[in-house]
Amino acid sequence: MKKLKTFAIALILANSFWSCEKDDICPDGTPTTPSVVVEFYDVNDPTVLKNVTNLKVIALGMTEGIVFNAAAQDDSRYLTNGNKIKLPLRTTEDNTTYRLILNANSTNPSLVNEDTLSFSYARTDIYVSRACGYKTVFQLNADNPVLSTNDTNPWIGSKITQQSNIQNENETHLKIYF
């Protein structure tokens, strides 16, 4: 009787493990909704990447900028000094506008320079998996993005759309010359 009881308990335990359902966790590295990859170049030598100085990027209608340095605890978390950034596009609307503020932390107002980039696009939702759900890919409309400025001395000299089909972050989508 004792052996039968032990066997029954073992059978119940084994059955409980077999009936477990696999966890639905989206694995790291799974491609999700891509951002627009922007690289900055020297306007005088268009083949040379150029670092921006204390660039802050704020989406229209938002009060805080995009976080470029998550480790920082102060306003420097919103600043970048590199030559490449990633800008997320809104997945619930067909346009996104960003304010790009060069020298954003300068105490001299004449050094702070702001230009605006507006992206218009078509969205397509693509099923990734049950764990990851859907991702959105974007197709920029012609003549995108639109560059505008409120001052007579814009810091962005020109821009070229390299890839209007935004499906991943493995390539540069937009080149900005300054």
Q: Residue 142 has what pLDDT? A: 86
pTM of the model: 0.82
Residue 145 dihedral angles phi and psi, to the nearest 5°: -80, 165
CA atoms within 13 A on the CB side of 81: 6
Measured between alpha carbons, how far is 94 from 87 in angstroms, rounded to an integer?
15
Q: What are 115-157's pLDDT values in tens digits?
A: 999 999 999 999 999 889 999 999 999 887 888 877 788 999 9
- What's the alpha-carbon Rg for the chain, to the nearest Å? 24
Mean pLDDT within 99-117: 94
Mean pLDDT within 161-171: 94
The yes-or-no verdict on residue 18 having pLDDT over 90 is no
Q: Residue 145 has what pLDDT? A: 86
Which of the two residues, 2 and 141, has the higher pLDDT score?
141
The partner residues of 84 in beta bridges, in order of sequence, read: 39
Model confidence band, residue 91 (pLDDT cutoffs 50, 70, 90): very high
Q: Residue 17 has what pLDDT? A: 60
Q: Residue 38 has what pLDDT? A: 97
Mean pLDDT within 16-42: 82
Mean pLDDT is lowest, of 14-18, 43-47, 72-76, for 14-18
Measured between alpha carbons, how far is 3 from 5 in angstroms, rounded to an integer?
5
Give CA separation, 97 vs 52, 60, 85, 119, 177, in Å.
19, 5, 15, 6, 19
**Is 164:26 a contact under the CB 8 Å cutoff?**
no
Mean pLDDT within 104-115: 93
Identify whether 145 is preceded by a cis peptide bond (ω within 30 of 0).
yes
Q: Residue 147 has what pLDDT? A: 84
The yes-or-no verdict on residue 16 having pLDDT over 70 is no
Mean pLDDT within 77-85: 97
CB burial of 128-144 (b: ≥16 within 10 Å; e: otherwise) equals eeeeeeebbbbebeeeb
